[in-house]
Amino acid sequence: ASVYPYFGAHQAGIVTPAQDRLHFAAFDVADALDREGLIGLLTEWTDAAARLSQGLEVAEGGAVGGSDYSPPTDTGEALGLPASGLTITFGFGPGLFTDESGADRFGLSARRPAMLEPLPRFQGDALVPEMSGGDLCIQACADDPQVAVHAIRNLSRIAFGRASLRWSQLGFGRTSSTSTTQATPRNLFGFKDGTANVKAEETAIVDDHVWVHASDEPAWLAGGSYLVARRIRMIIENWDRVQLGEQEMLVGRSKGEGAPLSGGTEFTEPDFDKTGATDAPLIDADAHVRLAHPTSNGGARMLRRGYNFVDGNDSLGRLDAGLFFLSFQRSPQQFIDVQTSLARDGLNEYLKHVGSAIFAVPGGVAEGEFVGQALF
């Protein structure tokens, strides 16, 4: 079982090989919270995250080692379970810097990254406010869902009275590989997802496209990244009635091997100019991989780290299922460019973006510091 260090140059949970399970939570800070209170919360969250990611209980005493006359410090459901590769990644939403009324109650507005704004409205967005936004976020990934849920539960408990859960999302079956050591998993459309993803081993590409540099504004975010979260509902009942050839045309890759329709095997670069017998390009003009490819987006890339979800069903008896898309990038513009180009994506007929959020993810934490300390 893996144990990843909590402290380091970057927060864990970004280039860490994507674990199998996710619990993601977005929080609103309480009206009464002030600057000292926020620092206190981040300090306690950091201490707790450092312990949890090592497979320890959230605090000394734990679930059963404390007094019989006080509630246990740890909720107990991870007792006996290993760390399971748990990583905990914190992010700061736009509302932390300036709230809806324009007030600057934490004294942070002058330090707000200029790009940290709610994402623009994209074509086809059907966003639900209750599944969008948030002042703070925590991404907990682990190979055991109980370990990820335990982390979010205990961190939410610590935040009691200071920040409350706004929305949260469970995910399974990672939809991206972030390391060349991993096999490519599949999304709920049945296609391999993550083939052309940025991989941790491609350090120059990660450096160029994922990490914020000291020379980027603002300097406090150096070593960090921007996290975009999109809850994308898949209309899978309709998708399942689409012919195989059409499904492959919409994606631009074969369903079995995941090879580009221009030929080759999974990791062959797509050839967008290659034409077939009819002189039409083998990869359709509106195919997802063409529109999402760096060559269609001024070279923009991103590290995708999403998960499948199935949250029961809706009142029409359709599965409430889809892709909880997560991506990390040096600038939100990379996501905005690709999502804008996906406006004419043929897959859109089977997709509905219902949740959206953006966070600045501070750089790594050194022992004795709290996450995001350089901001304060």
Footprint of ligand HEM (CB under 6 A): 187, 189, 191-197, 230, 232, 234, 251, 253, 288-289, 292-294, 302, 323, 325, 335, 338-339, 342, 351
CB of 92 to ligand HEM, least distance (A): 21
Of 192, 169, 191, 196, which Cα lies nearest the Cα of 350? Answer: 191
Q: Is 103 exposed, middle or buried (0-12, 13-18, 19+ CB in 10 A)?
A: exposed
- Cβ closer to ligand HEM: 236 or 374? 236
Longest dimension (CA), the chain: 78
CB of 289 to ligand HEM, least distance (A): 5
* Distance from C-alpha of 97 to C-alpha of 105, rounded to nearest angstrom: 8
- Cβ closer to ligand HEM: 174 or 253? 253
CB of 43 to ligand HEM, least distance (A): 34
Number of residues that make up the chain = 376
Angle between helix 35-52 and 145-158 (nearest 10):
150
CB of 86 to ligand HEM, least distance (A): 25
- Cβ closer to ligand HEM: 203 or 340? 340
- Cβ closer to ligand HEM: 73 or 334? 334
* Distance from C-alpha of 40 to C-alpha of 162, rounded to nearest angstrom: 10
Q: What is the 3-state secondary structure (H, E, C) of 238-301?
A: HHCCCCHHHHHHHHCECCCCCCECCCCCCCCCCCCCCECCCCCECCCCCCHHHHHCHHHCCCCC
CB of 62 to ligand HEM, least distance (A): 40
Residue 100: strand, helix, or coil: coil
For the stretch 124-148, what's the b/e string if a residue is b when 16 or more beta carbons lie within 10 angstroms of its beta carbon?
A: eeebeeebbbbbbbbbbbbbbbebb
CB of 10 to ligand HEM, least distance (A): 21
188 sits in which H/E element: none
CB of 324 to ligand HEM, least distance (A): 9
- Cβ closer to ligand HEM: 83 or 321? 321
CB of 338 to ligand HEM, least distance (A): 4
63 sits in which H/E element: none
DSSP-derived pairing of the beta strands 307-313 and 163-174: antiparallel
- Cβ closer to ligand HEM: 328 or 335? 335
- Cβ closer to ligand HEM: 355 or 363? 355
Residue 339: strand, helix, or coil: helix
- Cβ closer to ligand HEM: 15 or 151? 15
